[in-house]
Copies of this chain bind each other. A is one copy, B any other.
């Protein structure tokens, strides 16, 4: 470990270099790839690729390799974002409430006192009503606004950001948005 940096809190942020960036990009594009195959493609020794990967994982850059599950494929094709206004001091209760709702895929607290933003999924537009009722049916929530997702022109991606962080040139190929 080169543990000179000890950034408390937010971002550890050990800037990644070009090799890290290429490794991450490779893993994002072809997750089934192994360390050995990755090292071949990167043109480095296997030990190097392995050391880099270990370092990225230890440094928290790679949180894990969780399966990317498509909610639509398991019966939840409708996605929505709900903005919730929370009564003063009810934040913790609301958090606990929303954590219990499976259809709440993620929850953020955002600027503006008492505001939260959450991503929801539902089995249908009609079912979304049920989900919203359950979500907002809680005393601590004083107001809510829901926006239904119609299309997803840019699915979640990380590769372009990784390339930028690694000092690599922006993608130029035909398919310039993956990962």
- Contact pick for A31, options B15, B67, B157, CB 8 Å: B67
In Å, the complex CA distance between A121 and B165 comes to 12
- Contact pick for A66, options B65, B110, B116, B177, CB 8 Å: B65
For the complex, is A133 an interface residue (Cβ under 8 Å from B)?
no
> A73 to chain B: which residues have CB within 8 Å?
6, 11-14, 59-61
> A152 to chain B: which residues have CB within 8 Å?
2-5, 106-109
B67 touches A27 (CB 8 A): yes
Nearest neighbor of A148 in chain B, beta-carbon distance: B111
1/0 contact trace for A50-76 toward B, CB 8 Å?
Answer: 000000000111111111111111111
Q: A11-B75, A152-B2 are in contact. Are A69 and B105 (CB under 8 A)?
A: no
> A116 to chain B: which residues have CB within 8 Å?
153
1/0 contact trace for A149-179 toward B, CB 8 Å?
Answer: 1111111111011111110001000001101
- Contact pick for A117, options B7, B70, B81, B110, CB 8 Å: B81
> A179 to chain B: which residues have CB within 8 Å?
66
> A154 to chain B: which residues have CB within 8 Å?
95, 98-99, 104-107, 118
Chain A interface residues toward B at CB < 8 A: 2-7, 10-16, 24, 27-28, 31-32, 59-77, 79, 81, 95, 98-112, 115-119, 121, 147-158, 160-166, 170, 176-177, 179
10 pairs of A and B residues whose beta carbons are closest in the complex: A3-B155, A107-B154, A11-B77, A102-B160, A31-B65, A110-B147, A11-B72, A63-B68, A74-B165, A61-B73
5 contacts between A and B (CB under 8 A): A13-B77, A27-B66, A61-B70, A65-B66, A105-B158
